[in-house]
Amino acid sequence: MGLTAGSATAAASSPSFVQQVAARGHAGSLAVTPGSVITAGDRMMVEVGVWSSSGATASGVTDSAGNTYTELTHFRASDNTELSVWSAPITAGAGTKPAITVRATATADIGMAALEYSGLSAAGGTSVLDVSAAKSGTTSSAATVSSGATPAATADNELAIGFYADSGSGDTLTAGTGWAGRVNVSPTPDMELLAEDQPVGLGAAPAAAAGTGASTTWLMATLVLKHS
């Protein structure tokens, strides 16, 4: 049976994963280039993990097309690792592969993952964010860790994205049950990252989770984003 016009419109507006690219390094900045061209009206989500003994943090995200990135959340673990999430509606550079660059306040171990989604709000600034949760801790043995539940989502057809980071413990990370794994930078001796997503509806209180190893100081966030 074919889709009706109404159902086609609904399907087209549902948030959907498009592509991702990730990298890690020891520097004052780090850049990635998407594997496929980006699309106007889509949204870039950029996860950033930063660690240095002096407590360096992410200072900004830019791309070569000139899209404007806003920090949606940031927090720090007990070992000085910072996890931040940045986002930009794609208003420039459609049909190209713009380099996306993360900058830190000092030379540090940096990990970054850039994810493109369709069907999310194209609002600027922090307006795309509905609700969020974040948590950090240290495992004693291999475990599944979680951001904890967000407050209730305020609308249907939204998207929850979970972000995990640690400063590099040689862990093999796994996505949480019921979450679609999108990025997995592990195992590594420096920055480890994971990103996952799931659709959510009105009243949902998602809690992103990830499997990690023993004696690992971890950070995990869940962001629920508004639909277009």
Q: Does 8 map to a domain?
A: no
- Rounded-to-integer distance, Cα 201 and Cα 153, Å: 7
Residues of the chain predicted below pLDDT 50: 1-12
Burial class (CB in 10 A: 0-12, 13-18, 19+), 194: buried
Q: Does 1 map to a domain?
A: no
Q: Does 47 map to a domain?
A: yes
Q: Does 21 map to a domain?
A: yes
Cβ contact 145:209 at 8 Å: yes
Q: Does 26 map to a domain?
A: yes
- Rounded-to-integer distance, Cα 76 and Cα 186, Å: 20
Q: Does 99 map to a domain?
A: yes
Residue 8 pLDDT: 41
Amino acid, res. 35: G
Closest CA to 150 of 203, 95, 89: 203
Residue 114 pLDDT: 98
Closest CA to 51 of 27, 69, 20: 27
Q: Does 87 map to a domain?
A: yes
Q: Does 7 map to a domain?
A: no
Residue 10 pLDDT: 45
Q: Which domain holds residue 152?
A: 16-225
Residue 6 pLDDT: 39
Residue 13 pLDDT: 75
Number of folded domains that form the chain: 1
